[in-house]
Each structure stands twice: as C-alpha cells, then as structure tokens.
Copies of this chain bind each other. A is one copy, B any other.
Amino acid sequence: MVQYVGVENLIQLIRSVGVETFLTELATYVEEDFRRWPEFDKTPRVASHSRDGVIELMPTADDALYSFKYVNGHPRNTRKGLQTVTAFGVLSDVQSGYPLMLSEMTLLTALRTAATSAVAARCLARPNSRVMAIIGLGAQSEFQATAFKALCGITHLRVYDVESAATEKFCRNMQTSGLDITVANSSQDAVSGADIITTVTADKLKATILSDNMIGAGVHINAVGGDCPGKTELQAALLNRGRVFVEYPEQTRIEGEIQQMPQDFPVTELWQVMTGDVQGRRSEQDITIFDSVGFATEDFSALRYLKDKILGTDFYTEIDLVAEPEDPRNLFGLLNQV
C-alpha cells in the first residue's frame, strides 16, 4: 500500500503543527539537502507546453529515495476560478522502485518555496534584517511572509500589489501573524527602507517590478516571480549591479531573471554558499539577489519531511496504487481469483 496525503489531511497536519513550525522544520530538510547537492541525480524539468500553459514533471533522486512532482502553470486559470498552479508528487524507494507516498503538492510547493527563500536569505541577507518589502500579494505572499518571520526574524512588512483585493486578502490572512504591516502605495514606496525585498508577482511577461535606481546598498532581493521563459521582474542593470545566486544554473538560465542575460553571466550556486565553499554576502554594502525558480530537490526535501512527519499520525490514508500478487510473476492470476 502507498501512503496518501490529500489536501484535507495536509491542511489538518499543518494546523496541528502550526504553519511557522512546519516551515521551520521543513527548512531544515531543505537546507540539509542543499548541503549534499552533489549526491542528487539532477535534470531540468520535462515540460509539455500548450496554448494555455505548461505541465511539467520534476524528478530527482539520491541513493535511497526518488521523487517527482507534477506541476502545471496556466496563467488564465484564475479567470475560471481555478488555480494558476496545482501540483502533486510521489516519493519512491530507489532500491525497489516502488512508490512509498503520494501527496498533494499545491500547498506543499507554496511552503517549500517560502522555506527555500528564507533558507537562502539566512545566508545572503544582512543578519540584522528586520524589514521586508513584498511586491505581489498573490497565492505565495503569505507563505513568504510567514517563513521570513519564522526563519529570518523579520518583524515589519511593507507590502504592495496593483490590485487592492489582493492587498485586502493579504492583510486579512496576516491579521494575527504578529507582523507589523505597512501597505505601500507603489513598488517604489514599498521598498523604501526595506532590508529584504521579495518580488512575487504573477504576470507572465517581461515586467520591470524593480529597477536599478530603486535599490540601495546592502539589500537582499528574493526574486520569486520570474520563474518561466518570458517572465521576469528585475531590470538587467540591477542584475549587473548585484551578485546573483541560483539553485540549478542549467534551469535558471532558461526560466529565471537571468534569462535576460548572456549565457556566461556569472552566478553563484546556492548550495556552495550553504556548504561554506563560497562566501555569500561579503559586506554590508553587497546587493545579493536570489534568482529563485524552484528546483526538484526542494520538492524532494518537502516530501521527505512530510513522510517523516506523518509517521505514527492519522494524517494520511493508504491507497492500493501498486498491485501485489502473491507470486510476482503471476500478475494475470489477480484477474482469475473469484
């Protein structure tokens, strides 16, 4: 039998643990796996493009576990009341090839993306960072806010979205978060005085959410929204001025902010900062940029955490996804029994 964590069970699990604790524990798994980056079998995601969007498969594996995530991106879905992004994933045993756990990953992806952002900021932002700007208050924004509060000590948010409905939703959801929230009247206004700037807009086009002249020395930019070909948020001049950190260069050069830059544009791999092989922030004046597109190992970490977390709980069911004939060579016999 395969363990199954559906949406309802995951919600109940997160509520019982608490979102901040869940994000904090998840972050330790994400960080652990980044630190042993060379152990993973890595490949850019396999995409199937259509007129309205894309469906992607994101596999990865270490010696013991294999995972893949199915994820779609359909920008027009919201018009139909559907989500732009939905996802689910599977964790398997490498030795037998058998699937172990199937989980919803729409929520889990939002959580691992926020946890990864916070893990990156912990080694790239100034340690005394307290004020974060968030530009773009869509589905991912509250997860980012919560992760940065729990993991980076952010106490004050300066937030902006072009749609007031999104801003209202964000403020409502964050009402009891304990964060001090200032609603800004422009992106420019939002970033003023921020130690960390998170851009997480949803436009599927080359937008300039942050231009070079908006950014002062010492800032860490957490660029989450530019995550597929044709979709960027930062001005090229800003990328040239700061130091850019990425997950998996082969994928980020296609999907990230640096798709605007030449193929040899210098980047630093985040895992090397985590292992201490490469210095992250070098001075109080550095502008550091995490060009985040999301990578398969982060889903692996999330599934690995979830698998450990549900152990001995009621937050999963079991499903008969794998046939189990008594004699493995007698598959046909399953059809004959009466």
Contact = CB atoms under 8 A, between A and B. Distances in A.
A273 B53 CA distance: 33
Contacts of A50: 61, 63, 66, 94-95
Given A53-B97, A55-B97, A97-B86, A106 B323 contact: yes
A7 B325 CA distance: 10
Contact of A323 (B19, B86, B95, B99): B86
A48 B54 contact: no
A251 to B, nearest CB: 14
B104 A90 contact: no
A55 B141 CA distance: 35
Contact of A7 (B46, B80, B323): B323
Nearest to A60: B48
A48 to B, nearest CB: 5
Interface stretch (A150-158, A233-241, A301-309, A327-335): A327-335
B322 A88 contact: yes
Contacts of A48: 41, 59-61, 66
Contact of A328 (B60, B77, B95, B325): B77
A96 B80 contact: yes
A123 interface: no
Contacts of A60: 48
A107 interface: yes
A220 to B, nearest CB: 23
A59 B68 CA distance: 13
Interface in A283-319: 319
A122 interface: no
A24 interface: no
A143 interface: yes
A6 B328 contact: no
17 contacts: A7-B322, A15-B335, A48-B60, A48-B66, A50-B95, A55-B59, A55-B92, A74-B95, A80-B96, A82-B98, A84-B328, A104-B320, A106-B323, A107-B335, A110-B332, A140-B331, A169-B329
Give the 9 A-B CB pairs with smallest separation, nearest first. Answer: A72-B97, A142-B332, A6-B320, A106-B323, A139-B331, A83-B328, A7-B320, A74-B97, A7-B323
